[in-house]
Amino acid sequence: MNIFEPSARAISRAADIIRSGGLVAFPTETVYGLGADASNPEAVIKIFETKRRPLFDPLIVHASDMAMLESVVSDIPPAAKALMESFWPGPLTIVLPKSSLIPEITTSGLDTVAVRMPAHETALELIRAAGLPIAAPSANLFGRISPTTARHVADQLGPSLEMILDGGPCSVGVESTIVSISPDGCTLLRPGGIPVEEISAFTGPVLLPGSSDKIQAPGSMPSHYAPRAELIIKEKITSEDSGSDRALLFFREPAFPPPPLSEILSVSGDLREAAINLFAALHRLDRLNRNIIIAEEVPSSGLGLAIMDRLRRASVKP
């Protein structure tokens, strides 16, 4: 079995694998990552191969401390510094100009690099022990549901991985929020674990991509996070929506008894709890092998923006 409790010994072995150009799956507070030495092109290419990810979709580089971060980027504008001080370690990724340490394959040829410091002790210990910035996308096959447990990783990528560090279920459950900083301000490239409302308290109004056309998040495919079943989003699920060919994903406890093939993201309608449960619930519903998953809309405020983004992409067929 390649799933390991994150003991000092396991972390030291994982760090050896990373240093010698191999891959390790590890927990973060958002989702599990598939990590490699961000500065080693031969190691990074293995991430793309293992996930079957297109080479034009750049990776996020994870650092354990500011000195390491400074080796990865060539400039930290004051607005970015302020965000780092407020939200790191945590689920916020910032796109900055890259340094020469980071090869082009990591950034898909861009001269910027997406960086974050994860708020997870195992992730930080692994990066520290490796002594290297670690490039890591979510540890799932490209386009499929992101993993929030070691078991999810093993189910999708198990046989191709030497080591999966098991840190238990992820505490945030959706990927990091990605922003870029330019003289025009702060642009939201992907909604995620830090609500935009919290970011704009520091940066002023957060721009949406398109309002500044230079900035793009290359990997933001319309179809992503997809279960095998067809996923349909409805404003409200009613008792008429149940049927033997379908599974239901409720946001909160419904007014009628939920049918057997259903999941409730948060009984009380708490968006944080819903985000934590989102991917695990989708994995479970997908394993029921129904043709259709009907998912209920959640409010588009706070973490709801990230949840709706994932549901919309999961509803688009590749």
CA distances (Å), origin 145, targets 32, 51, 312? 11, 12, 13
- Alpha-carbon distance of 79 to 63, in angstroms, equals 19
| CB of residue 71 to ligand TXA, shortest distance in Å | 17
Burial of 31 (0-12, 13-18, 19+ CB in 10 A): buried
State which of positions 157-176 bind ligand TXA (CB under 6 A): 175-176
Closer to ligand TXA at the Cβ: 217 or 231? 217
Which of 134, 189, 306, 307 binds ligand TXA (CB under 6 A)? It is 189
Which of 59, 80, 124, 280 binds ligand TXA (CB under 6 A)? It is 59
Q: Establish if 137 lies at the interface with ligand TXA (CB under 6 A).
A: yes
| CB of residue 63 to ligand TXA, shortest distance in Å | 11
- 91 neighbors 193 (Cβ within 8 angstroms): yes
Amino acid making up residue 223: S
Q: Establish if 177 lies at the interface with Mg ion (CB under 5 A).
A: no
Closest CA to 30 of 152, 168, 156, 148: 148
Closer to ligand TXA at the Cβ: 221 or 288? 221
Q: Establish if 138 lies at the interface with Mg ion (CB under 5 A).
A: yes
- 73 neighbors 97 (Cβ within 8 angstroms): yes
The residue count for binding ligand TXA (CB under 6 A) is 29
* Residue 28 site contact among Mg ion, ligand TXA, none (CB < 5 to 8 Å, cut-off depends on kind): ligand TXA
Tokens of 107: 């950034």
Q: What angle do CA 33, 45, 97 make, to 5 degrees?
A: 75
Give just the sign of the alpha carbon dihedral 175, 158, 133, 53: negative
Q: How many residues does the chain have?
A: 318
| CB of residue 137 to Mg ion, shortest distance in Å | 5
- Alpha-carbon distance of 207 to 205, in angstroms, equals 6
Q: Establish if 127 lies at the interface with ligand TXA (CB under 6 A).
A: no
The full 3-state SS of 251-310, as one line of letters, equals: CCCCCCCCCCCEEECCCCCCHHHHHHHHHHHHHHHHHCCCCEEEEECCCCCCCHHHHHHH
Q: Establish if 30 lies at the interface with Mg ion (CB under 5 A).
A: no
Closer to ligand TXA at the Cβ: 139 or 293? 139
Q: Establish if 217 lies at the interface with ligand TXA (CB under 6 A).
A: yes
> Per-residue x/- mask for ligand TXA, residues 82 to 101, rule CB under 6 A?
---------x-x-x------
* Residue 217 site contact among ligand TXA, Mg ion, none (CB < 5 to 8 Å, cut-off depends on kind): ligand TXA
**Where along the sequence are the contacts to ligand TXA (CB under 6 A)?**
28, 30-31, 33, 57-60, 91, 93, 95, 107, 110, 112-114, 118, 136-138, 175-176, 178, 189-190, 217-220
**Where along the sequence are the contacts to Mg ion (CB under 5 A)?**
138
